[in-house]
Structure 1
């Protein structure tokens, strides 16, 4: 039986945290999230989506950034 999302197990894929930081030039909510993340010294650069979500919760990020995280995960998984 194949996992419904095998791309998350691709060991050659750039980690989510670093991919997100590289999105800072985007002109959308993902870009906003990336710019905020780049200013956060506690941002999990080598983290997965769950680590980033946990960080957003820890710093009390607004709902818009959580929505951007969902969109970013979709984009990242599509790679």
Structure 2
């Protein structure tokens, strides 16, 4: 749950910043702003997932090294 809340707040911040800087697109083309924000969110979420996967792999390697050292 803690991971979801941090991701949610990060998405809110990104949406707010994107809306602030690209507000003129809202009035001229709503589809463009939706696609842009969706792209940013997808990039951020993918980055978080990749980082989580790498951390899990590193934890497994560390456990293996510690087990080898103890034997």
TM more than 0.5: no
Q: Which has the higher helix share?
A: 2
TM-score of the aligned structures, taking structure 2 as reference length: 0.36
Higher RCO, Cα 8 Å, sep 6+? 1
Determine which structure has more spread, i.e. the larger CA radius of gyration: 2
